[in-house]
Structure 1
């Protein structure tokens, strides 16, 4: 699929394997999620526009490339999306941040919004939505729906793992929004979890159940 980018970088794949292991500690899982977030940020920002500017090196003036246009926005879906955020902000410290609070109703598996805060000019910026698990895709769809309501038109989704059902559902609703992920796993189980997956990313990151 042209709008689906599976990142096969060896470091991404190695760290994902470590995160899948049940024995991984909360501290270790959180650290790895942060590191993978930074690596995925390299991929999702690979085609950002550049402009030539005049600078002075210690030896001579020159023209050099610099990011053009308004700074991008990282939009983590709470809770687990914040696991990507620090690593990405280390890479792009000038980025703005939008927070989207959603939880999954345990009976219907539908996303329920409880918080939304974004920069006032978010519609004028590239927005990168962060959600480690694209399972049913209900949360990702709801987040992009909300951002489009605010006028956002240039959006990308970054996740750690995706299920085929989630990819199909997300692109069935938002075919214009590309996805970057480290892997597409086999399927969803009857509880809406990715199999083989790595469990609940939020619980593993925060040590909750």
Structure 2
């Protein structure tokens, strides 16, 4: 895990050959849906382990069958809320839950419109209670323009004041990260890598394309879905 000196609280995983190999497979246009989804699961799980490194550790005493010894407990690991931004983040959430098995799960369905406005439509929101002891992890593979995450973070903050808010992604753009940090300087960001830039359509370059389309096949038109919105 490497701290990106351009921002406070932004970390990349470029020091991990394993994760960079996973990222290489995700970037490859020949990678089809099944290995792409598996790659996102691997990313989520690895990111969970890296996030744990930043949590407080409490030393305890434990009895082995032979004698007493010192151990550790990561208590914050049991106070985690994972917010899944549909649909590309579902496999990442699966990986995160393998590490944070006690996590409560929230769902946000958000769609970013086309350039240049990049308006965000939030169709469904279901978020559990958030306490001041919780670490909220927002899973979204691509931090591109930042438009979707700005809306999601603002919505999450209506549910409480968590101990930490973390965005976990595969790739970020300098533009998107800067927008998020400007509006929400308290939010931490963990990504595999910060890529070069955005193109005019709001896609990360060199990027890996549309993560949702690549993970699940062709996109479903919103007009074919029931319009649902649930805020609790």
TM range (shorter): over 0.9
Match of 1:84 among 80, 92, 95: 92
Measure the CA separation in 1 of the matches of 2:161 and 2:87: 22
For 1:104-159, what per-residue CA distance to the aligned partner results, in whole angstroms no more than 9, with x for missing partners?
Answer: 12353122111111222455411011110000101111111011111234201111
Per-residue deviation, residues 58-88 of structure 1 (Å, max 9, x unmatched): 2234442112255211111111111201111
| Residue aligning to 2:80 | 72
Aligned partner of residue 192 in structure 2, secondary structure? strand
Contact between 1:55 and 1:62, CA under 8 Å: does it hold in 2?
A: yes
Which range is displaced more, 157-166 or 64-73? 64-73
Task: List structure 1 segments (4+ residues) > 6 angstroms apart after TM superposition.
Answer: none
TM-score of the two chains, using structure 1 as the length reference: 0.93
In structure 2, the residue matched to 1:4 is 10
Is the alpha carbon distance of 1:167 and 1:121 closer, same or farther for their aligned partners in structure 2, counting shifts above 3 Å? closer
Work out whether 1:40 is the aligned partner of 2:47.
yes
Gaps of 5+ in 2: 1-6, 220-232
Partner of 2:112: 104
Which residue, out of 196, 218, 222, partners 1:208? 218
Q: RMSD between aligned alpha carbons?
A: 1.6
In structure 2, what is the Cα distance between the partners aligned to 1:152 and 1:132? 24
Contact persistence 1:123–1:150 (CA under 8 A): no
Q: Which runs of 5+ in 1 are unaligned?
A: none
Aligned residues: 209
Instruction: Give the equivalent residue in structure 1 for 2:59.
Output: 52
Cα pair 2:144 2:173 within 8 Å, conserved: yes
In the alignment, which of 85, 93, 97 is matched to residue 101 of structure 2?
Answer: 93
User: Relative to structure 1, is the Cα distance of residues 119 and 53 closer, same or farther in structure 2, using a 3 angstrom cutoff?
Assistant: farther
Matches within 5 A, 1:1-209: 1-8=7-14, 9-69=16-76, 70-106=78-114, 108-153=117-162, 154-209=164-219
Q: Distance in 1 between matches of 2:13 and 2:136?
A: 19
Q: Distance in 2 between matches of 1:2 and 1:105?
A: 29
Distance of 1:114 and 1:55 partners within structure 2: 48
